[in-house]
Amino acid sequence: MNNEQQEVAQFVKMQTPFSQIDTSATDYFVAHVDSIYLTRENQTQWLQSASPKLFLIRSGLYDLVDAKGDVITRLAQGDYFGFPSLLTGEAIQNRLETQKEGIVYMLNQDAFDFLRREYKLFEQYFVRAHANRLLSSHYKSQNDSWSERKISELMSRKAVTLLPDASIRQTAKKMKEHGVSSIMITEFERLVGVVTDRDLRNRVLADEIDPKEAISSIMSKKPKYIFENNRVFSALHLMLKHNIHHLPVLDEHHKALGMITSTDLLRQQKSDPVQLIGRIYKAHSIVDLKRYAAEIPELLRGFSHNIDDISLIGKLLSGLTDALTSRLIHLFQEDNGAAPTSFSFICFGSQAREEQTLHSDQDNGLLLPDDLSEQHQDYFRRMGEFVCEQLVECGIRRCPGNIMASNALCRMSISDWCERFFKWIKSPTPEAMLNCKIFFDLRFIEGSNSLYTSFCEQLTRISRNELFYAAMASDIKSNAAPIGLFNQLKLEKDAKQHKYIDLKKRGVVIINDIVRLYALKAGVRRANTQERLDALLKYPQLNKQDVYNLKDCWRFLTQLRLRTQINEEGLPSNCINPNKLNSLERHQLKEAFYLIKQAQQAAAFKFARGSL
């Protein structure tokens, strides 16, 4: 064979590392290389994990794209790619996107290995290039949190399921067969229970149960689960909160798709807010808690950069506040003895709706059983004071309206709470209406769930009052959406004559109010506006399209609001100058306000007919 590929040789000889090593390396490269014309159409066929290759670009432009679709780097003449797989033997993770087609040289693994063996500089060059690539992608992955990824992206294994009448032994065999530590028990494709290795040990072996018994007798019934479209963050939060290691993943029709384990998640975990929540739930002292809490603003800043669904930030912050609160309650009990009776620590308002921002203040309270002795009342007074005080220390401000568990008015027995609510419902003064808007968004944080549930049931019963609904509906209507008869945006003016629209007060709040009203009427026991809307989809009195519209509006306004929080020019917070929006956004804004106005009118028509 005759090696006279002069053009190829001249080119290769000019590239590092060949320019620094003996010409024989170039000759060897040229004698073993193939050349391709890399195009958009054939770009996938060359990067095969089964036969990794070293690529050297002669002409053209290509983007190296990682598994998530982010561009790692743009490659042009003289750039190499493909070497990580050659060095590590691992499967190819990145792919190429051709920007401009051209000629690329391609060397196979054997020739690459030969050059590595024979020329030390060659080896060094590619090992170093690989290390740099890792560094830069690690840097990137610190910025974009894995925890905002969807569960479905993490799930690798298919669902292992059995019917409830399978025997315990059959279950163990099936788990062995599939090499899994947990199994889902399903009936008519619906999840009815979960069995884990630990259950087989604790509930079968230790209790000497006959392995011929049906698995349904020992499975964990009504297990916690998560949907494939939820974020990894939610899964971790659930697991940490309930101390479970296996979480079934369901599709939207509640069909079992697979199991996600804490190990799966930990494998993904690097450093981000989720880890922080984990540490908070395990903190042993107040000092630790405060230290962790001090990290929240910084972590959040990094987290919010490239987040596509901004409502997640509210969830995340509420999750952190929940974690802090719940840990403080535990620490209080460690020092002062376990609570003498059952109790529920609850939160209201934005924390309950999971719409917290960094500037949100505390809205919490204690729900206690009736007829407590003075001694017990004193215990919970101290608990309330301790938790609220320490939360302030952790950076969550006191509530200006004193809605805090340290306040005797927010630390009451179920009957007293009900009476307080009933008073507002009976005489819907403007002040009562204001209270309703805060207190009817409530969520359980820590303590006895059954106490909280029974309170909710009573609350649903007493709030079933048409006059009350009517009062709420007319209250909603009094806060007009800023859109005129002819679809003109109505602007407000501040002292300096800036024109603006308050996205929160005139938009998000109205939607929250409308949704709260429907949720009360339908008996939906959720606080988060999006979740309330999801639940309302099944509610016959609301048109599905209206629900979707409200969801879209809410999301649009929230996104816009959080975006303007980042870059605002002298306007009050949550405000926006619509003239600064582009025409599409302005159109969307008008559309959103128009839909809100319609929903306001519809609510008034449905609920307030009598009083109009």
Partner 1 sequence: MVKKWLSRYLSRKKLLAKSVFSQRYIVIDLELTGLDAKQHEIVSVAWVLVEQQCIKLSTAEHYISKEVKQLEQSPVFHGIAQQEIGQGQSLSFILNKLSCYFDDAILVFHNASLDWSFLKNAFKSNDINVRPKLIIDTFQIEKKRLLQQGQEIALDDLTLAACRGRYQLPHYSNHHALTDATATAELLLAQCHQISCGNELKLADIVKVSL
> Contact residues for partner 1 (CB under 8 A)?
1-2, 4-8, 11, 30-37, 39-42, 45, 58-60, 100-103, 105-106
- Taking the least distance from each CB to partner 1, the nearer of 107 and 323 is 107
Strands (E), 291-388: 344-348, 364-368
- Taking the least distance from each CB to partner 1, the nearer of 53 and 443 is 53
- Taking the least distance from each CB to partner 1, the nearer of 50 and 206 is 50
CB of 442 to partner 1, least distance (A): 58
Which residue type, as a one-letter code, is found at position 410? C
Report how far residue 258's alpha carbon sits from residue 520's, in angstroms, rounded to the nearest whole number. 35
Which residue type, as a one-letter code, is found at position 18? F
CB of 309 to partner 1, least distance (A): 34
274 near 236, Cβ under 8 Å? yes
CB of 120 to partner 1, least distance (A): 25
- Taking the least distance from each CB to partner 1, the nearer of 110 and 207 is 110
**SS3 category, 255:** strand
Query: For the residues of 499-535, what is the DSSP string, one character each?
Result: EEEETIIIIIHHHHHHHHHHHHHHT----SHHHHHHH
- Taking the least distance from each CB to partner 1, the nearer of 37 and 548 is 37
CB of 52 to partner 1, least distance (A): 15
463 near 432, Cβ under 8 Å? no
CB of 265 to partner 1, least distance (A): 41
CB of 1 to partner 1, least distance (A): 6
- Taking the least distance from each CB to partner 1, the nearer of 41 and 308 is 41
CB of 306 to partner 1, least distance (A): 32
CB of 103 to partner 1, least distance (A): 6
| Percentage helix, strand, coil for the chain under 3-state DSSP, each rounded to 5 | 55, 15, 30
- Taking the least distance from each CB to partner 1, the nearer of 115 and 524 is 115
Report how far residue 32's alpha carbon sits from residue 28's, in angstroms, rounded to the nearest whole number. 6
Which residue type, as a one-letter code, is found at position 139? Y
In this structure, the number of other CB atoms found within 10 A of the CB of residue 359 comes to 9
Report how far residue 223's alpha carbon sits from residue 184's, in angstroms, rounded to the nearest whole number. 10
Nearest to residue 562, comparing CAs of 275, 298, 348, 301? 301
- Taking the least distance from each CB to partner 1, the nearer of 14 and 131 is 14
- Taking the least distance from each CB to partner 1, the nearer of 35 and 88 is 35
Nearest to residue 520, comparing CAs of 590, 435, 456? 456
Report how far residue 323's alpha carbon sits from residue 280's, in angstroms, rounded to the nearest whole number. 6
In this structure, the number of other CB atoms found within 10 A of the CB of residue 207 comes to 9
CB of 604 to partner 1, least distance (A): 57
Report how far residue 250's alpha carbon sits from residue 318's, in angstroms, rounded to the nearest whole number. 25
CB of 3 to partner 1, least distance (A): 8
Report how far residue 529's alpha carbon sits from residue 515's, in angstroms, rounded to the nearest whole number. 7
40 near 69, Cβ under 8 Å? no
430-439 helix and 509-522 helix, angle to the nearest 10 degrees: 80
Q: Which helix (H) or strand (E) holds 562?
A: helix 544-566
CB of 112 to partner 1, least distance (A): 14
- Taking the least distance from each CB to partner 1, the nearer of 38 and 536 is 38
In this structure, the number of other CB atoms found within 10 A of the CB of residue 101 comes to 17
Tokens 């719409």 sit at which residue? 355
- Taking the least distance from each CB to partner 1, the nearer of 40 and 242 is 40
